[in-house]
Structure 1
């Protein structure tokens, strides 16, 4: 009975040791040229992308806010790699196209998907 427990413990230790060795290996050797630069740029790229998307989103919001005739409180802006999506509602139909044109005029905007709708009061009038 004692030998079976010892055997199981030894097998478990071998499995853990093998798992740790396999898990710690990478697809490229550590001394490969450019490996550290690739790792550094790979880890920094998502943060830079998110920062750029947030900055573009703020620029679009600021451009819309400069036009006092547009109520931007019900408009949401999603920016991803220069593609901007507008969601929400505006007070009249003329503002739907106007907001899209404002967004297109912001530097860095590549495309605009306009999903804005006209906010109708209760009763549909």
Structure 2
């Protein structure tokens, strides 16, 4: 009887120990996971928010620049902006538009580089 109680107590202690172990989140320092805020968290909190706003504004500017060219169907083009670097994904209707859209994006103020992943849309039922 005592051996059963001892093993149950050992198992309960093991479960309690395992469940109380705290793991830090990715990108979080050990001091922040232990309840002590890191020194950079209070200062760096505003930087990601303003960076995201700037990225969204740049993305809208690139969309607006592409939209000024009526011959380009921008409905199948997605624009991702990160710190001035723009990535273009999606499809266009004509092969000449692939480079044209990239050049339009490069001309937007604030764009530092353009990664062009655009492809030509294949017609339905065609090869």
Residue 23 of structure 1 is matched in structure 2 by 34
Change (3 A) 1:63 1:23: same
Is 1:110 aligned to 2:121, yes or no? no
Matches within 5 A, 1:73-112: 73-112=75-114
1:57-112 deviation line (CA, Å, top 9, x unaligned): 00000000000010000000000011000000001001001000000000000000
Deviation at 1:39, TM superposition (A): 4.5
Tell me, which stretches of 5 or more residues in structure 2 are unaligned? 1-15, 21-32
CA distance in 1, matches of 2:46, 2:58: 18
Unaligned stretches of 5+ residues in structure 1? 1-11, 17-21, 29-37
Q: CA deviation at 1:120?
A: 1.3
Which has the larger share of helix?
A: 1
Matches of 1:40 and 1:26, distance apart in 2: 8
Q: Is the partner of 2:57 in helix, strand or coil?
A: helix
2:69 aligned residue (63, 67, 78): 67
Number of aligned residue pairs: give it: 97
Supply the RMSD in Å over aligned alpha carbons. 2.2
Q: CA deviation at 1:27?
A: 5.4
1:27–1:85 Cα change, 3 Å = closer
Q: How do 1:50-65 residues align onto structure 2 when only pairs under 5 Å count?
A: 50-65=52-67
